[in-house]
């Protein structure tokens, strides 16, 4: 993975975490927590979409996948609490 790919992955993760925070809680959680939530969400969303046969090859598709996964993650955490 190149530096550019890593930076884009973290940037998409931060944006996805922020958007998921807005959707689930009405506010973000800070840049580092948003990034962690978004990156974890990207893995969850990627796994879920792969399971049902959906794939994304674009930046917008990757962002949508990460946001979906982050929302699912925040939903699960909210139910556990």
Q: What is the pLDDT along the chain (81 residues), one digit of tens a residue?
A: 789 988 888 899 889 989 998 888 777 677 788 888 889 999 999 999 999 999 888 889 999 999 999 999 999 888 887
The tokens for 9 are 């992955």
What global pTM score does this model have? 0.87
Residue 35: the pLDDT is 85
- Look at the alpha carbons of 10, 14, 20, 25 in this order and tell me if their dihedral is positive or negative: positive
Which contiguous run of DSSP H or E holds residue 21? helix 3-24
Residue 52: the pLDDT is 93
């Amino acid at each position: 993975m190149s530096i550019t790919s890593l930076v884009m992955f973290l940037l998409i993760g931060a944006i996805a975490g922020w958007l998921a925070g807005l959707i689930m809680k009405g506010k973000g959680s800070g840049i580092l927590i948003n990034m962690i939530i978004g990156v974890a969400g990207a893995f969850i969303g990627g796994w879920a979409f792969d399971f049902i046969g959906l794939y994304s090859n674009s930046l917008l598709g990757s962002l949508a996948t990460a946001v979906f996964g982050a929302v699912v993650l925040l939903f699960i955490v909210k139910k556990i609490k």
